[in-house]
A and B are shown apart, each in its own frame.
Chain A
């Protein structure tokens, strides 16, 4: 009986071997787990470092916002950025309210813009000068600036000031100078002092503009712009509509900096006019 219950030597050897193999397997599995966790931990750490660097670069304005944009107008004794350029671009071209150019021009170009919108700035500084030179100065096109203040508080303040500039027939100068000095979106840069400097550089009487901007009349151009935008289904800026003077307008789908695309659209309408 007792001999039967006692494991034989062979059985003991086999049991010990099985135990050893199981321990080795457990050790190998633990080592594998450690290695796997280290790999995943390393990948997570590397990813975290890359993300932090990307966020730092992004927050530092590594995009188009800071590097290729003139600084926000600071206190300076000289002319502010864009004053000379706007003045030269618009010299001797008639302005009335939101309109620029010959009232009898055969073609109408309507620009829907938000003065805070960076792509509107690209359009205004890179495409608009050529269009004004080739079409407005030659009396072929009359332009309209329709302000959609939808990006935030700074847009609304800039839009009201733009209405006041329009009342003095200086809207196009005002918008161009403002684009040259456009700051970081919704950073609160559109202060009364900022508007005052843009007004002076654009040839707008600051006191008169300030008084007008507070009246209900300053809201009218903004309401009219919204109505027209709804009529044409405009829901983004910049949107450029082109058409015959009394005809239906059509949106131009083009990169804001591609002046040739706008020229083609205007030429097509001029060909029909």
Chain B
């Protein structure tokens, strides 16, 4: 049996697969709503939660959860009737500022910061499996419930309001969905990896098709390919997974853009 599939590597494959499915699916709405900044800010800021958790000695997932939900609500409330990107930027820097404060109280944290930022998918232990699966199921269930209203409000912002769904409620629900996906994925794959997965594959998928269901399926497929290839290459070379996932996601997006460009040229106008 190939060593890539043996022992603790099974956990890595399993968790990375779950992460790719959730990231690819949630990412479709991130791209559709033009919320790339939010998808960057919530995972990145939630890292302060991990620092706080390690400082007071509670479970990392709890810290990540509290901070990513807090960040989501902060962005939603500050962004109401204001500039959304400003609200996101200020929430993010405030969370990171808190993180700097927590870090200043603990001394031996530097290597852990690196793994929080860039992930350590190969070091996943069996006891991380259950919470990851639980949160993944919750994310996908929330996505299924929110699917229609999210799609409606993202493509036709006015029609949702007419049906009694306020854009603000939808926005908060969406932000909480990103927070949920973040909590689940950051301890496993790091903030940088989940961000790449939520942007690159769905953006590529949208270049190939306009139909939402097909795009989500395609986005999940691309995310899976990217993550699996990343793990295999990381195992072979010992280089960080984040490098392969980050560059492969961008490459997927570039391919999508090139394909659309070629078709436009070919089809003519």
User: Do A and B actually bind?
Assistant: no
